[in-house]
C-alpha cells in the first residue's frame, strides 16, 4: 500500500489496523503495548496478517459504521457481494463494568449472490521472532510458539476450520463469523453470540458519540477525531497513547522510526482540555488521574513519558529480523526518549494540575498533596530553567537553550502562582512572581532575533521552529502583539511548503527533516486565525483535511510532494490539534445545554 489506508478498531485495551482491502495487518494483544500477533505493516513477508482474498473483479469500499469505531468493508462484483464488519467487543455489563476481552470479531454479512473468497489466516506471534504453529483442535485453531518466548492465540469460526488452514476457496451462502482471541473461550462460540456482541458494541459506540458536543461546522471530522482519541485511550489506567503503532517511519527509508505505544506527558493538558470540551468529563478526569498518580514525590525525576500502566523503564530494543515499513528500518520496541531531560515537562505538568483545580472538585487531602507537588516543581524549575536540554522534538544531539523549553518553564511558574491564587495560599507569591518575570525577560531578550524578526528555535539561533507558534496559546504573548504576528509570518515563510509545515529545517541527528509534521500545520492554521487571517486559515485547514486517508484519519507526518501519510498511526496529537483548530471555525452546541459524563 502506498499510503496508510487503514482503519483502526479498538476496545480501549488493544487495537488493530485493517487495510482498505480488509487485510488485518497490525494488532498487539492482549494490550496496546504487547507483542504483535499481526505485523504485516512492518514486514509484508513474515509479519503476519489475516486477509480476505477475492477476485480482481470485486470492487472494495470501506467506511466506519455511523459514529462508531466499527469498520465496514464491502466486497461487490456486481452479482455477488458481502459486507465484512470488523470490531473489538466493548460494552457495559449490568453491574456497570465493561466487557472488553482481547478479541477481534470479523462478521461476514451476505448481501447478494454467492460470493467466493479465500481466507489467509497467518498470525505471527511475538513480532514473528520465532515460528508460529497452527493446529486444528476441533472447536478452534490454536496458534502457538515452541521456541523462545511462549505465546498462543485462538481462532473460532462458523467456517470450516480445515478450509481456513488449507486456504480453500469458500462460498458464502449466509452470514458467518471469525473470532481471534488471546484467551481460550470457556463457553461455546456461535454466530448468534458474535452478532449479539456486534450489536452491543455498536450501541456502546453510538451512546459514546451521542454524549459528544456537537459543532456547527466540521462536525463529522471532529467526531471521527474524538473517536480516534477514545480508541487510543487505555481504560484500565486512563492513559492515552501517542499512537497505536511502532516504527512507521517519518520518512521512507530513513531511521526516524519510533515506538509510540506509550503516554507522553506533553500531550496530557491538550487531551484533558479537548476531551472535557467535547463533553467527555469522565475521560478527561481519568487521564488527569493517571497523570497525577505518576507524579513523583518531591525531588524524584519527572519523566517525559510513561508506559500505559505507569511503567517508568521503556528500554529500547531493535527487531533486526523485521525489514520495516517499506524497508524502513530499524524496527524498535520501547523508546529511549524516556531518559531524556526536557525542561518543558514542568510547565506541561503544572498546566495539568492547574486544570485539575479549575475543572474538578478536589478533596483537601488531594489539594495538599498537589500543593506539595506544585511547590516542588517550582523549586526544580528555579534550579534548572537556565540549563540547556533536548527540547520538544527530543533531539539526541547536544543540549541547547530551546525557546519552547524556556517558555514552558515560564508556564510552570505562572500556573503555580495561579494555583496559589485558587487555593488562596499566597505562599512564596512575591518570590514566584519575581522568578516568572526573570524567565519572561530572559526569553524576551535572548529568544528574539532582530534579523529574522521572530522568536527562533534556541538562543542565538537563526533557525525558526514551529513550536514558537504556541507562545500565544500558553499566554506568554498576546495575539495582537507585533512580535507574535511577525513570528507567525516569518515562521510560515520559512517553514511552510505547499500548505504543509516543517517542524524545523535545520539538521538534527539524522540530517535535515524531509516530511511535514502534521500537528505543526494545525498550529500555523490556528495562529493565522488568531492574528486575523481567518480566510487564509480556513483555506489551509480545508486543504489539510483533504490529506487524511479515506476514513478521515491522520498519522504523525505527511510527505510534502506526494501527500502520503507517514509516521505512526493514527496519531493522537494530530487529531487533538484537528479538533482544537476546527473549533475555531464553529461553535460547540451541547445538546439540551447539558454537560455529559461518560
Which residue has 500477533 as its cell numbers?
37
155, β-bridge pairs: 141, 180
Rounded to 10°, the helix 364-384/344-359 angle is 160
What pLDDT is attached to residue 369? 81
Question: Does residue 437 surpass a pLDDT of 60?
Answer: yes
Assess contact for 266 and 345: CB atoms under 8 A: yes
How far apart, in Å, are the Cα atoms of 12 and each of 143, 239, 287, 598?
Answer: 24, 10, 13, 14
What's the mean pLDDT in 394-400? 72
Question: Does residue 597 surpass a pLDDT of 50?
Answer: no
Percentage of the chain exceeding pLDDT 90:
76
Residue 282 — pLDDT band, cuts 50, 70, 90?
confident
Task: State how far the Cα of 3 lies from the Cα of 1, in Å rounded to an integer.
Answer: 6
What pLDDT is attached to residue 590? 39
Concatenated DSSP letters of 443-459: HHHHSEETTTTEE-SBT
- Lookup: cell for 335: 523508546
What pLDDT is attached to residue 441? 98
Please state the φ and ψ torsions of residue 447, each to the nearest 5 degrees. -90, -20
Assess contact for 333 and 316: CB atoms under 8 A: yes
What are 306-328's pLDDT values in tens digits?
999 999 999 999 999 999 999 99
What pLDDT is attached to residue 501? 96
What pLDDT is attached to residue 367? 82
Average pLDDT of the residues of the chain: 92
What's the mean pLDDT in 378-400? 83
What's the mean pLDDT in 134-142? 97
What are 524-576's pLDDT values in tens digits?
999 999 999 999 999 999 999 999 999 999 999 999 999 999 999 999 999 99
What pLDDT is attached to residue 239? 92
Assess contact for 325 and 247: CB atoms under 8 A: yes
pTM: 0.93
- Phi-psi region for residue 96, left (φ > 0), alpha (ψ -120 to 50) or beta? left
Assess contact for 38 and 47: CB atoms under 8 A: yes
Assess contact for 589 and 213: CB atoms under 8 A: yes
The larger pLDDT score, comparing residue 329 to residue 588, is at 329
- Lookup: cell for 249: 517511519
What pLDDT is attached to residue 511? 63
Task: State how far the Cα of 27 lies from the Cα of 174, in Å rounded to an integer.
Answer: 28
What are 484-536's pLDDT values in tens digits?
999 999 999 999 999 999 998 886 665 667 789 999 999 999 999 999 999 99
What are 140-197's pLDDT values in tens digits?
999 999 998 899 999 999 999 999 999 999 999 999 999 999 999 999 999 999 999 9
**Dihedral of CA 455/460/462/465: which sign?**
negative
What pLDDT is attached to residue 330? 95
Return all residues near 570 (Cβ < 8 A) that are at least 6 apart.
8, 228, 231, 232, 243, 244, 553, 554, 555
Task: State how far the Cα of 211 lies from the Cα of 580, in Å rounded to an integer.
Answer: 18
What's the mean pLDDT in 59-79? 98
What are 439-493's pLDDT values in tens digits?
999 999 999 999 999 999 999 999 999 999 999 999 999 999 999 999 999 999 9
Task: State how far the Cα of 598 lies from the Cα of 596, in Å rounded to an integer.
Answer: 7
Distance of CA 219 to the CA centre of its chain: 20
What are 9-34's pLDDT values in tens digits?
999 999 999 999 999 999 999 999 99
DSSP 300: S
What's the mean pLDDT in 260-282? 88
Assess contact for 495 and 487: CB atoms under 8 A: no
Task: State how far the Cα of 518 lies from the Cα of 501, in Å rounded to an integer.
Answer: 7
Q: DSSP alpha helices (H): ranges in 447-582?
A: 482-495, 518-530, 534-545, 572-582
What pLDDT is attached to residue 23? 98
What pLDDT is attached to residue 256? 84
Residue 585 — pLDDT band, cuts 50, 70, 90?
confident
Rounded to 10°, the helix 344-359/281-294 angle is 130
**Spatial CA neighbour of 71 closest among 17, 1, 3:** 17
What are 82-124's pLDDT values in tens digits?
999 999 999 999 998 999 999 999 999 999 999 999 999 999 9
Question: Does residue 589 surpass a pLDDT of 60?
Answer: no
215-224, 443-452, 579-588: least confident range: 579-588
The larger pLDDT score, comparing residue 565 to residue 595, is at 565
Question: Does residue 596 surpass a pLDDT of 60?
Answer: no
Amino acid at each position: 500500500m502506498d499510503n496508510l489506508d487503514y482503519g483502526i478498531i479498538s476496545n480501549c485495551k488493544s487495537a488493530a489496523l485493517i487495510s482498505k482491502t480488509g487485510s488485518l495487518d497490525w494488532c498487539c494483544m492482549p494490550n496496546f503495548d504487547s507483542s504483535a500477533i499481526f505485523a504485516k505493516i512492518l514486514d509484508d513477508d513474515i509479519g503476519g496478517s489475516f486477509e480476505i482474498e477475492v477476485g480482481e473483479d470485486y470492487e472494495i469500499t470501506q467506511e466506519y459504521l455511523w459514529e462508531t469505531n466499527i469498520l465496514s468493508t464491502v466486497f461487490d462484483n456486481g452479482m455477488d457481494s458481502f459486507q465484512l464488519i470488523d470490531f473489538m467487543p466493548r460494552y457495559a455489563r449490568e453491574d456497570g463494568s465493561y466487557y472488553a476481552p482481547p478479541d477481534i470479531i470479523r462478521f461476514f454479512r451476505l448481501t447478494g449472490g454467492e460470493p467466493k473468497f479465500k481466507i489467509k489466516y497467518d498470525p505471527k506471534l511475538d513480532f514473528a521472532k520465532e515460528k508460529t504453529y497452527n493446529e486444528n483442535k476441533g472447536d478452534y485453531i490454536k496458534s502457538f510458539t515452541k521456541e523462545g518466548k511462549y505465546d498462543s492465540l485462538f481462532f473460532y469460526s462458523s467456517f470450516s476450520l480445515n478450509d481456513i488452514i488449507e486456504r480453500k476457496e469458500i462460498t458464502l451462502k449466509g452470514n458467518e463469523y471469525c473470532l481471534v482471541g488471546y484467551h481460550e473461550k470457556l463457553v461455546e462460540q456461535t454466530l448468534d453470540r458474535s452478532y449479539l456482541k456486534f450489536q452491543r458494541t455498536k450501541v456502546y459506540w453510538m451512546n459514546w458519540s451521542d454524549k459528544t458536543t456537537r459543532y456547527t461546522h466540521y462536525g463529522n471530522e471532529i467526531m471521527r477525531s474524538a473517536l480516534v482519541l477514545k480508541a487510543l485511550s487505555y481504560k484500565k489506567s486512563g492513559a492515552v497513547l501517542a499512537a497505536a503503532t511502532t516504527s512507521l517511519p517519518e520518512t521512507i527509508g530513513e531511521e526516524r522510526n519510533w515506538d509510540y505505544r506509550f503516554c507522553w506527558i506533553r500531550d496530557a493538558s491538550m487531551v484533558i482540555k479537548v476531551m472535557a470540551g467535547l463533553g467527555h468529563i469522565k475521560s478527561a478526569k481519568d487521564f488527569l488521574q493517571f497523570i497525577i498518580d505518576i507524579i513523583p514525590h518531591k525531588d524524584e525525576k519527572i519523566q517525559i513519558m510513561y508506559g500505559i500502566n505507569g511503567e517508568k523503564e521503556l528500554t529500547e530494543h531493535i527487531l533486526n529480523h523485521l525489514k520495516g515499513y517499506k524497508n524502513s528500518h530499524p524496527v524498535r520496541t520501547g523508546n529511549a526518549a524516556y531518559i531524556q531531560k526536557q525542561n518543558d515537562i514542568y510547565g506541561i505538568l503544572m498546566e495539568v494540575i492547574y486544570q485539575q483545580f479549575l475543572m474538578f472538585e478536589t478533596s483537601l487531602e488531594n489539594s495538599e498533596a498537589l500543593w506539595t507537588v506544585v511547590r516542588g516543581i517550582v523549586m526544580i524549575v528555579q534550579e534548572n530553567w537556565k540549563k540547556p536540554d533536548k527540547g520538544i522534538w527530543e533531539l539526541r544531539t547536544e543540549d541547547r537553550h530551546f525557546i519552547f523549553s524556556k517558555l514552558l518553564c515560564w508556564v510552570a511558574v505562572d500556573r503555580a502562582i495561579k494555583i496559589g491564587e485558587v487555593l488562596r495560599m499566597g505562599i512564596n507569591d512575591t518570590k514566584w512572581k519575581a522568578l516568572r518575570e526573570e524567565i519572561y525577560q530572559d526569553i524576551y531578550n535572548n529568544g528574539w532575533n532582530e534579523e529574522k524578526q521572530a522568536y527562533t528555535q534556541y538562543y542565538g539561533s537563526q533557525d525558526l521552529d514551529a513550536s514558537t507558534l504556541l507562545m500565544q496559546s500558553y499566554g506568554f504573548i498576546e495575539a495582537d502583539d507585533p512580535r507574535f504576528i511577525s513570528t507567525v509570518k516569518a515562521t510560515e515563510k520559512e517553514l511552510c511548503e505547499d500548505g504543509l509545515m516543517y517542524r524545523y529545517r535545520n539538521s538534527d541527528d539524522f540530517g535535515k527533516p524531509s516530511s511535514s509534521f502534521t500537528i505543526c500545520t494545525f498550529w500555523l492554521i490556528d495562529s493565522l486565525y488568531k492574528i486575523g487571517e481567518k480566510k487564509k486559515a480556513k483555506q489551509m485547514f480545508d486543504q489539510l483535511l483533504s490529506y487524511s486517508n479515506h476514513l478521515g484519519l491522520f498519522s504523525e507526518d505527511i510527505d510534502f510532494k506526494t501527500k502520503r501519510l507517514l509516521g505512526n498511526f493514527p496519531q493522537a496529537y494530530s487529531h487533538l490539534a484537528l479538533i482544537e483548530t476546527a473549533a475555531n471555525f464553529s461553535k460547540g452546541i451541547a445538546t439540551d445545554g447539558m454537560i455529559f459524563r461518560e
